[in-house]
Amino acid sequence: MNKKRIALLAGLMTMGMVSFAMESSDAEVLKTKEEKELSIFNINDRVRFDENRLEMNGNLHLDKNNRLEMRVRHYSSVGNGDFGDNRDSGNTAGDRTEMRLRLHTQTSVEDMVVRTELKTNTYGSGDGGNQQYFRVQPTWHLFTDVEGLSSHVRAGLAFKHTSPDAASSENAYSFTSSFENAYTINDYLAIEGNIYYDYNFGGKGTEDYNNVDIEAYVYANYPLYNADGIKVEALLEGGMDPYSFGNRHFGDLNNVNKETPSEGHETYVLYAEPSVKASKTLNENNSVYLQGGYYVEQNDKNSTGNVDDTAFVRVGFTSKF
């Protein structure tokens, strides 16, 4: 794999190799009991040939004003990279379990939702310790009159606790904010762009610092076959994962990057993930699927011309209730 192949994949995305399968409704705006979407539960196991991720997630409507998102992930190292280079930049190396709960509460203020989030990470014996992260973010839904656009502004406070037996133990606080946008162009293509700003403070033995991240994604979905309860789709996902700007962009702020504040710091991940997914409808509310594809990534660590790439397979089950 090389830059030419990444350029080819990026070109396919730019041409709009048809569409996406993005939900047409806005997940943040809770609806009445009659209008609300069905609650959904998923379980899937994705094996890249350098890691395994077992995931369970759900979207549960508690009542007309409250919706609960649940996600549990377990990562483990597998394989020896025979199907591609091991990913050096991923955050899934080693064994760990991650749980995230998000409660979305519709307020009396129109188009304003409060998102309360709790996330825990439990690391394997090699890393030791665990982390708890709690955040409350009022969220404003913008541009409700623009069809196909889901746009939100979030701002709130967060607290992170790292257990005493971890390599780095501390309690820290942060102000977190974001401007998040997803636009469904048509039935086959969608794009997403997000900007995040965080101010971290109060950590023991660390200095306060600021951080800005930018994300940009393209999603495409081309239907290949759909009959007798069987659906086959060609999927393509790609884009730029969080791009972190250093203090060269914020010269008037102290310690924007806490690792090398005097030099500034930039990181990026450009990736593409083409795949084919086959789904089988079991009944009105339940389905199973099998997905196989290829993942390729360019990042600041392999920017000399190499890339990280790996094949993957995914099996899953979806239930609506």
What residue ranges do the domains of the chain occupy? Answer: 3-320
Residue 100 has pLDDT above 50, yes or no: yes
More confident residue, 299 or 244: 299
Q: What is the pLDDT of residue 206?
A: 61
pTM: 0.80
Question: pLDDT band for position 87 (50/70/90)?
Answer: low
Distance, CA of 10 to CA of 271 (rounded, Å): 9
Q: What is the DSSP string of 125-185?
A: TTT--EEEEEEEEEEEEE-TTSTTEEEEEEEEEEEEEE-TTSSS--EEEEEEEEEEEEEE-
| pLDDT, average across residues 153-179 | 84
Q: What is the pLDDT of residue 20?
A: 35
Question: pLDDT band for position 205 (50/70/90)?
Answer: low
Q: Measured between alpha carbons, how far is residue 293 from residues 15, 38, 43, 310 in Å? A: 20, 29, 19, 9
Query: What class, spelled out in words, does domain 3-320 have in CATH?
Result: mainly beta
Q: CB-based contacts of 81: which residues, under 8 Å, 6+ apart?
A: 49, 50, 310
